[in-house]
Every structure is written in structure tokens, then in C-alpha cells.
Amino acid sequence: MKRNLKKISVPFFLGMIGLLFLQSCASIPKGATPVSPFYKEQYLGNWYEIARLDFRFERGLNNTTAEYTLNEDGTIKVDNQGYNYEKAEWRQAIGKAKFRGDEDVAALKVSFFGPFYTGYNVIALDKDYQYALVAGRNLDYLWILSRRTTIPEEIKKQYLKIAADLGYETDELIWVEHNRN
């Protein structure tokens, strides 16, 4: 009996790993197009999260920021920070991002958990690299970023329209407070 269970459980386990791997390779919502040409050197640096669709890893956080720096191996270090207002403490997550293809296309994948990656796609960006609209692998992940703690109303409206046209539930966005240093 144990031998039969082992014969079944090993393929099942390997199949589940394969399913997770395929899911982690999902890249961009249908209809979304990553920015091209994209200049990673201009994108590097500090960004403030202006709005996001809430999800488990950022739930309860405000004052959220991302800092992107270049690693020696050409990947991008991702340093996300936010203040957990329920626990009154800062949280940090460090990961890495790499391009899924050509580096002049803003289609990346990011990982905070070893070999598991998910889509990170800049789908709107102003010419001065001050404001960005970032789509995850599906319609559950969306961020509006800015180099400052605020965003002009016309950029906000433009990015909300782009997101809504793709099928995002923009009325569910969390508008992030930036009131701590």
C-alpha cells in the first residue's frame, strides 16, 4: 500500500510543482502592451506607490516605496518598503527582476521567493520617467507609481482609463498615504 501511495504521490507532487512553475511564468494581462522603447537606467531609483490593487503581501501597508538598483549580474534589485499601520512597524521585501526578452521592452519578471517569478510590466510611462503604470501577470495586480508622493490629476485620469480599458477594477484601488519618513 505504501509503495502504491508513493507511486501516486511523487507524480502528483511533481505535477503541482509544474503547475506552480507555469503559473509563475504568466506574464501580462490580455490586451496590455509593455512600454517600448524602455530605458532601464532612467527607470532605476526611488518610486512612491500612489495606488495599488490590494493583495496579501501589501495588505495593511501605507507609505510604500520601491527602489530599483542594478545588480552586478545585470538583474535589477527590487527593495520594497512599507509601513504596517496596524502593527506600527516598517516592513521590507527584497527581490530581483529580470527582463523576459529584450531590455528595451518594459516586460520583466520579478521574484521575492527564490525561483518563482511573476510578471512586472510597465504599460504606461511619461517621457521623463516620473510616473508609471505597472501591470502584474493578470488583472489582480496593478500599481500606479510616481517619483513624488503625489501624481498630477491628468496623469491619474489617463492611467485609470488605460487600466479600466484593460478590464481592471479601478474602483478597488487602494490610494496609498505617504505621511511617514
At 126, which CATH number? Answer: 2.40.128.20
**Domain count along the chain:** 1
Tell me whether residue 17 is in a domain.
yes
Please report, in angstroms and rounded to a whole number, the separation of the first and last CA atoms in the chain: 60
Question: In angstroms, what is the C-alpha Rg of the chain?
Answer: 18
Query: What percent of the chain is modeled with pLDDT above 70?
Result: 85
Query: Is pLDDT of 6 > 80?
Result: no
Handedness of CA 131, 124, 155, 83 (dihedral sign): negative
Query: Is pLDDT of 22 > 60?
Result: no
User: Model's pTM, two decimal places?
Assistant: 0.85
For 91, the domain range is 2-175
Burial class (CB in 10 A: 0-12, 13-18, 19+), 129: middle
pLDDT confidence of residue 172: 98
